[in-house]
Structure 1
Amino acid sequence: MTSRVLLLALMLTGAAAPQPDAPVKESAGRPVILIVHGRGFLSRDSAAFRRKALHALREGAFRASGDSLLDDDDVRLVWYADLMAARRGARSVMLCDGPADTADVGLSPGFLLRSLALVASELVDAGATDSVADDARDLAGDLRFVGDPSMRCDAEGRVANALSRAHREGRPVILVAHSLGAFVTWGYLRHPSFLDERDVVEIQRLVTVGSLVGNAELRELLFSDTAAVSLPRGVRSWINAVNADDPFAWRLTATDATSGQARALRGIDDVVTGSADEPAHDLRGYLRDAGTARAIVGAWCDAADARRRFAGCLALARR
């Protein structure tokens, strides 16, 4: 089983600078959807990808409610891919340090995996040719994410910053995290140094898609995290979307071996998505799915100010 988890970890790791904060608009009270992207984005353009994600989610919302519902400013991208560049310079290590990050040293499987990932990232970078440069940079960046705790800390800081901005604007938050971004989000939510009681930003709903957070052995390897999954502090509900054909999507509510029934977790549910035209792990395929879109847009509707109720939200509630 351990060899399978190691293989999954290496497969999982297999660009544009973040956009500056826009001026505050007249949108206080209107919920905002924050999307934390997945792996392989070091060579992507953040603005172009955000537009594609918004378009896909509007398609999903239309399938779920008969109304695309969302305006351009209702969806923001939490971008951390630029942090994965080689030799990026000094990294922040001050916010995420804690017992869980320093517990496994020496010859533990987690320590060996992270050390191997760092060495492999440099080898991939050094051996890249022009014809495969973008793919090689993406792979090297993903390996660097696994091997460098300070990089993960900086990525978690991007989530913290996006949540803080929404809080300052008075906008309720629906947080969507895909693939590697689900690990970034989970890492942020489990770090008590980030979550001082005075600074907790309430998340109306966390939606993970194509996520391996449900794999306990992989969480232990990457984060030295041996605790059972539970609803994080500050999160009101958590929906985990799983495409049955997606090898990187794991359920959170495990099936009991004796009864065959799903083990209930307070505030957490799995949703199985339908097939899509895109590859099973692709974020846009998840967002276009009516079930995933309902989980996201339904929470967006529930969080909307009563005076801002939209016809599509009312239609969604009736379905």
Structure 2
Amino acid sequence: MTASGSAQLLFVHGIGGLRDADRERRAWLDSLADGARRAGHSDAVSRLTQGWPADVRFADYSDLFLDRGAQGDTFGPSQNDEAFLSRLVAELTEELAHQALERQAPDLLRMVENARQQLSDEQTQGIGEPLRILAGVLTTLLQIPGLRRAAQWASGRSLLGQLSQVGRYLGRGEPDGGGRCLDTRVRDRVLRGLDPGRPLVVVAHSLGTVVAFEALQHYSGPVRLLITLGSPLATATAVLHRIHPRPPRTPEPVERWLNFWDRDDIVVCRPRIQDWMLPNRAGVLPDSHRVDSDGIWVHTATKYLRQTAVAGPVVEALKR
């Protein structure tokens, strides 16, 4: 496939509240510029902050999660989300148990066992009660030292509400007046305005990695690089078995796929996505790398973008 013109850069956000697309586009670019500078691409910093932005889109679909009509916290979970959230929280807990054994960390294992016990209690509760218990499980997990330092959520309930967005997207429901379901509207929002005649670089975060993965299955232009950050794609029963296509396969337009995960990012399970993905016809599989972010709020795109391992390949792909 032949493409001409400068590369496009597409940012795809993840879970969270309403976004200010212009402000976040700038924040993501500034973080990318910081990572590029430390990666030895100082020549690209001014282009990132002044030149390339004309070719940069921040795909904002956050408002589409406001239309449930729920009372109170419009981003909060409902009873319709219980089954998905129960599976997801259980998988998050088991991943942390695996890490506790791998690290030989008895204190961590005790906290995970506490969460496991709460999950077993959740199976015996009445309607509506599981959400309270699941929020308690997440509150327990967020007390784990690495996660406590890294988490940007005030409580397990706030995290639970944002995780429910993943289930809503994968639920393939909530049609609008024209019969277009939520997941279709989200993907359309992401692909809107792209030029298939020019190469594309995609940086997707969290839920955005699921959205980008599915959206690019229907994209006709060349994708020079796909970067996924803090992805839940390989979370087996909760996410992996529900994404399209089945079995999951690298989107055909993708020429290179780099996946990055942080051990203290609670949203990430089974970080080595390549173990659960088929290659596209060009043989492309995701190449997973662990990064370590010091400080707080690990599960943010800006934390990942400041990593030299992330910023370097993005800048190089844009320069080609």
The one-letter code sitting in structure 2 at the alignment partner of 1:207 is I
Give the distance between the partners of 2:212 and 2:301, measured in 1 at CA. 16
Q: Which residue of 201, 214, 230 maps to 1:174? A: 201
- Output one character per residue of 1:191-220: Cα deviation in whole Å (capped at 9) or x when no partner: xxx35xxxx111111110100112333334
Q: Does 1:241 align with 2:260?
A: yes
Asked whether 1:251 is paired with 2:272, we answer yes
Cα deviation code 1:77-122 (max 9, x no counterpart):
011111111258xxxxxxxxxxxxxxxxxxxxx99539x99x98xx
1:144 is matched with which residue? 168
TM-score of the aligned structures, taking structure 2 as reference length: 0.59
Work out whether residues 32 and 305 of structure 2, in 8 Å CA contact, stay in contact via their aligned partners in 1: yes
1:63 aligns with 2:44: no
Amino acid at match of 1:180: L
Aligned counterpart, 2:251: 232
Q: Secondary structure at the match of 1:213?
A: coil
Do the aligned partners of 1:32 and 1:171 also contact (CA within 8 Å) in 2?
A: yes
Residue 279 of structure 1 corresponds to 297
Amino acid at match of 1:242: W
Instruction: Tell me what 1:186 maps to.
Output: 213
SS in structure 2 opposite 1:166? coil
SS at match of 1:215: coil
CA distance in 1, matches of 2:162, 2:257: 29
Residue matched to 1:37: 13
Counterpart amino acid of residue 13 in structure 2: H
1:53 maps to 2:73: no
Asked if 1 retains the 8 angstrom alpha-carbon contact of 2:190 and 2:215, the reply is yes
The equivalent residue for 1:159 is 190
SS state at 2:238 partner: helix
**TM-score normalized with structure 1 length:** 0.59
Q: How does 1:204-215 map to 2 (within 5 A)?
A: 204-215=224-235
| Structure 2 CA distance for aligned equivalents of residues 144 and 252 of structure 1 | 22
Report how many aligned residue pairs link the two structures. 222
Q: Which amino acid aligns with 1:296?
A: V
2:60 to 73, 79, 101: 79
Q: Which 4+ stretches in 1 moved above 4 angstroms?
A: 135-143
How far is the alpha carbon of 1:60 from its aligned partner? 0.9
Distance in 2, Cα, partners of 1:253 & 1:87:
34
The AA in structure 1 aligned to 2:273 is L
Describe the SS at the equivalent of 2:272.
coil
Aligned to 1:113: 84
**1:280 to partner: Cα distance:** 1.6
Change (3 A) 1:142 1:244: closer
The unaligned stretches of length 5 or more in structure 2 are: 70-80, 89-126, 133-154, 174-180, 277-282
2:311 aligns with 293
Deviations for 1:266-319, whole angstroms, at most 9, x for unmatched residues? 4431122232434221110000111010121121122xxxxxxxxxxxxxxxxx
Q: Which amino acid aligns with 2:222?
A: E
- Residue 121 of structure 2 corresponds to none
* Structure 1 position 226, deviation (Å): 4.7
Cα 1:111–1:284 change in 2 (3 A) is closer
Kindly report the root-mean-square deviation, in angstroms, between the aligned alpha carbons of the 2 structures: 3.6
Structure 1 unaligned residues grouped into runs of 5+: 1-27, 89-109, 125-131, 256-264, 303-319
SS at match of 1:216: coil
Distance 2:82 2:27 in 1: 37
